[in-house]
């Protein structure tokens, strides 16, 4: 069955599944929308995507984006919520394509789906952003006119003005002589303060060190009447010390009969992260295509070499160094096959076959698999498992692959007689289970830690740099997270956090 037939025959089941997941997986806002509306919006985007995939005609998807953007802005939806809703198209469609297409057709079909989805998300993000900025500009101008009009009636108008700016979702502030003389709750919240703690403080205290020179220069130019940009991006400083990307739209105004700068301030962390993910996805997709092609070209001749080497080793009466040389050939071919498998795991999307399982039992199974290597190096393993951990839906095979990868890294780093500690526990407030694997081996260098999950990064002589990348890929497919830290005085700790399902 070809792609066109699959998309046509399965139209209603796919739309129904998309709507169901919108109501249960994306956000409470989607859950509250009428089912009839979701069927209407999903049907329109499904049909528009179909035309893109089959005819490379983007006209209907462009019309859909203009319509849905205004609808979702009116509904108060965030940019990321709608982007996640679009991304469900691939998640709903991929299992059916894998099941019903020939292996050789799957990659081409997924490439078309990914290209359509990337275009849709980019187009929507840009259109959403432009409409939002237009609203902000209009709102800023209205605020300015309102302030100028009511300055002479300050005692009566200031209350209305405060109510107005308190109701907007973006931060609003007034900077006069370098100090905050007014800030709404949104501005205070997103800096980690109460509104009363903000007023009177120097504005520069809320700007990250690396952006202070830029912000101070723009402020001086604006107050001196010189032309300068009204919209700029800088790094703000949160109360906890974090620095976060921020967009500021500012105007010079009169506040209490004195010159000041009023600004409408927006957090753009999600937008920056979305752009980074899109760039990363494009890069990884390109690497994945090259990797898959290379792995398939190597795999077949490698299998033939291995098979014939094993036959020679079995049938020929070799002795001494000749037999050892043949054994080394077979071992090295097996190692190359493992490398190819890691490369293919990197290239293919993670599809999960979820079944309820015990995390403690999965860990025991992994430790049993590596038992021979543990005894060979005389290692000691300590297990500190939490009792009565709930069984959770996991893909046991992929979870075991990820955990064995971590254990094998620890084995390679440990000297003879080293120690591995495995701890499981339940994180109650976060509703998650956590696995911590600690070894006292040489571990990573501190300067390598930011890159350990990057594909093809390795400090091993015979490593591919894909092991930890694939671990992260599997854990994130389960909705979890993984982190690596160095521990004193020696060793490495890997923590895996896997969320519990929403309903027990």
Asked if residue 319 and residue 236 are part of one domain, the reply reads no
**Residue of 248, 255, 210 lying closest to 228 (CA atoms):** 248
Rounded to whole angstroms, the Cα distance separating 207 from 216 reads 10
pLDDT score at 462:
56
Asked if residue 492 and residue 356 are part of one domain, the reply reads yes
Asked if residue 202 and residue 216 are part of one domain, the reply reads yes
Coil, helix or strand at residue 257: coil
Domain stops at, among 302, 318, 349 = 349
Strands 258-267 and 179-183: unpaired
Q: CA 424 → CA 391, 480, 488, 495, 502, distances in Å?
A: 13, 15, 21, 10, 20
Output phi, psi for 386, to 5 deg.
Answer: -70, 140
Asked if residue 245 and residue 312 are part of one domain, the reply reads no
Domain that holds residue 118: 3-134
pLDDT tens figures, 124-137: 888 877 877 777 77
Asked if residue 466 and residue 446 are part of one domain, the reply reads yes
Task: For residue 23, give the DSSP letter.
Answer: I
pTM of the prediction?
0.40
Decide if pLDDT at 180 tops 90: yes
Decide if pLDDT at 463 tops 60: no
pLDDT score at 346:
58
Q: CA 451 → CA 34, 257, 356, 440, 467, distances in Å?
A: 45, 54, 33, 21, 13
Residue 336: partners with Cβ closer than 8 Å, 6 or more residues away: 298, 302
Tally of domains in the chain: 4
Indicate whether 339 belongs to any domain. Answer: yes
Tell me if the bond preceding 489 is cis, omega within 30° of 0. yes
CB 418 within 8 Å of CB 377: yes
Asked if residue 43 and residue 113 are part of one domain, the reply reads yes
User: pLDDT-based confidence at 101, cuts 50/70/90?
Assistant: confident
Coil, helix or strand at residue 347: helix
CB 217 within 8 Å of CB 138: no
pLDDT score at 415:
86
Indicate whether 145 belongs to any domain. Answer: no
Asked if residue 358 and residue 344 are part of one domain, the reply reads no
Asked if residue 476 and residue 358 are part of one domain, the reply reads yes
Decide if pLDDT at 470 tops 60: yes
Asked if residue 425 and residue 294 are part of one domain, the reply reads no
* Percent over 70 (pLDDT), the chain: 84
Q: CA 2 → CA 97, 99, 289, distances in Å?
A: 9, 12, 22
State the Cα angle at 409 between 406 and 410, rounded to 5°: 90
User: pLDDT-based confidence at 435, cuts 50/70/90?
Assistant: very high
pLDDT tens figures, 27-57: 888 888 899 988 998 898 888 888 888 888 8
Indicate whether 446 belongs to any domain. Answer: yes
Rounded to whole angstroms, the Cα distance separating 244 from 269 reads 7
């Amino acid at each position: 069955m070809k792609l066109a037939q699959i998309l046509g025959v399965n139209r209603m089941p796919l739309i129904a599944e998309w709507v169901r997941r919108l109501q249960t997986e994306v956000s409470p806002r989607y859950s509250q929308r009428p089912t009839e509306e979701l069927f209407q919006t999903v049907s329109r985007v499904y049909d528009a995507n179909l035309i893109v995939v089959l005819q490379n005609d983007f006209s209907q998807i462009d019309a859909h984006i203009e319509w849905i953007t205004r609808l979702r802005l009116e509904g108060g939806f965030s940019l990321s919520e709608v982007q996640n809703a679009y991304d469900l198209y691939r998640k709903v469609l991929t299992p059916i394509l894998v099941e019903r297409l020939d292996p050789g057709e799957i990659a081409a079909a997924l490439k078309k789906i990914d290209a359509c989805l990337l275009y849709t998300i980019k187009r929507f993000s840009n259109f959403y952003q432009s409409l939002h900025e237009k609203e902000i500009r209009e709102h800023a101008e209205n605020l300015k006119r309102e302030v100028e009009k009511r300055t002479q009636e300050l005692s009566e108008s200031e209350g209305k003005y405060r109510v107005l700016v308190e109701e907007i979702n973006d931060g609003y502030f007034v900077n006069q002589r370098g100090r905050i003389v007014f800030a709404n709750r949104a501005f205070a919240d997103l800096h980690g303060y109460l509104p009363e703690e903000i007023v009177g403080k120097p504005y520069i205290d809320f700007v990250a060190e690396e952006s202070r020179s830029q912000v101070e220069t723009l402020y001086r130019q604006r107050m001196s009447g010189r032309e300068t940009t009204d919209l700029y991006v800088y790094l703000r400083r949160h109360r906890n010390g974090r620095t976060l990307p921020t967009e500021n739209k500012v105007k010079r105004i009169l506040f209490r009969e004195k010159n000041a700068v009023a600004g409408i301030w927006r957090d753009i962390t999600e937008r920056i992260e979305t752009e980074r993910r899109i760039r990363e996805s494009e890069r990884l997709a390109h690497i994945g295509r090259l990797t898959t092609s290379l792995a398939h070209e190597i795999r077949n001749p490698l299998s033939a070499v291995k098979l014939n080497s094993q036959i020679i080793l079995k049938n020929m009466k070799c002795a001494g160094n000749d037999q050892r040389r043949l054994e080394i050939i077979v071992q090295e071919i097996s190692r190359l096959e493992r490398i190819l498998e890691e490369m293919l795991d990197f290239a293919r999307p993670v599809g999960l076959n979820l079944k309820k399982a015990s995390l403690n039992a999965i860990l025991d199974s992994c430790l049993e698999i590596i038992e021979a290597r543990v005894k060979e190096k005389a290692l000691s393993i300590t297990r500190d498992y939490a009792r009565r951990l709930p069984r959770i839906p996991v893909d046991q095979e992929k979870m075991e692959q990820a955990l064995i990868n971590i254990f094998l890294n620890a084995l390679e780093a440990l000297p003879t007689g080293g120690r591995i500690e495995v701890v499981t526990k339940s994180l109650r407030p976060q509703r998650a289970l956590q696995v911590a694997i600690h070894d006292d081996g040489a571990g990573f260098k501190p300067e390598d830690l930011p890159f350990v999950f990057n594909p093809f990064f390795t400090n091993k002589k015979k490593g591919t740099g894909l092991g930890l990348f694939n671990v992260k890929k599997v854990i994130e497919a389960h909705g979890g997270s993984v982190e690596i830290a160095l521990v004193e005085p020696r060793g490495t700790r890997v923590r895996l956090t896997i969320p519990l399902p929403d309903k027990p």
